[in-house]
A = this chain, B = another copy of it.
Amino acid sequence: MNLFVDGDFSWTAFLDSVISAGLKIGLVLLVYVIISPIGKRLISRIINGAGNKQKLSEGRSKTLERLILNIYSYVLGFILIATLLGLFDINLAPLIAGAGIIGLAIGFGAQGLVSDVVTGFFILLEKQVEVDEYVTAGGMNGVVEEVGLRTTKIRSFDGTLNFVPNRHISTISNHTRGNMRALVDIGIAYGENIDEAMAVLQKVCDEFQQDERVTDGPNVLGVQSFGSSDIVLRVLGHTENMQQWAVERDLRKRIKEAFDDAGIEIPFPHQVNIYKKEDE
């Protein structure tokens, strides 16, 4: 606004610049008014298309759409204001540079927040967890109560509600995506006949193969290891999801009973004692 260029106030220049400014503002606003809804519709369409392709639930693709539209509006609004100010030579640069020191601190401080949202976005998009699934994430173990953009809520089995910021979720172990393993290790005495013990175990396994909770096996694998006082045999099967613990408990009970019937001992720790007299 060089209205004093030659040391004199120039009304013509003033008017000119006012008209010019008005025209510019109008143009900028026009472009904004045109671009804004087009972008919004585009985003909605893309999200919905992607959502259908990825088979996202309605609620989930709505969450993502709202998130992206929000970001879009903020960015566009910021551009609009910066452009308008720029028109009147209200230079933003020093301002922004001045704000830079504080901004740096904020940028670093807030990166955790962005990290949360980015991770949360992909957890939602890749459907890594759903509500009510049993997962291990961020060191917490339990049933998911809510998957948010910033925080995931996990209810531990002891009743605790854990708020896990998404950035602290590195690897998600989802325990509700397929049949689970039921595994029982059982020790027999070194004196027992291995073949006989395995036959007894397999008979118990055969009973369980009828169990409707069991999807595969169980079967006796063989000699897993030599313990200090026992020979460890392994029984392995697969069950429907979340039934693994109950099946394992029932397997253990039946094996103990079958061993009792067959007279096979689950040995206590053994020790060989050699006696010396003190004067030796």
Contacts and interface: CB of A to CB of B under 8 A. Distances in A.
Contact of A271 (B4, B164, B273): B273
Given A96-B97, A181-B159, A277-B275, A222 B108 contact: no
A5 B80 CA distance: 25
B253 A222 contact: yes
Interface residues of A, number: 118
Contact of A191 (B94, B112, B280): B280
Interface in A163-212: 163-165, 168, 170-175, 177-181, 183, 186-187, 190-191, 194
Number of copies: 7
B173 A171 contact: no
Contact of A249 (B110, B186, B190, B224): B224
Interface string A264-280: 00111111111111101
A19 B123 CA distance: 51
B269 A228 contact: yes
Given A105-B114, A114-B106, A222-B249, A159 B180 contact: yes
Nearest to A259: B190
Contacts of A151: 122, 126, 128
A132 interface: no
A30 interface: no
Interface string A117-135: 1110010001010000000
A161 B179 contact: no
Interface string A229-253: 1010000001001001010011011
A19 B8 CA distance: 11
Given A98-B82, A107-B101, A253-B194, A272 B266 contact: no
Interface in A123-160: 126, 128, 136, 138-140, 150-151, 155-160
Interface of A: 3-4, 7-10, 12-13, 16-17, 19-20, 75, 78-79, 82-83, 86, 90-115, 117-119, 122, 126, 128, 136, 138-140, 150-151, 155-165, 168, 170-175, 177-181, 183, 186-187, 190-191, 194, 221-226, 228-229, 231, 238, 241, 244, 246, 249-250, 252-253, 256-257, 266-278, 280
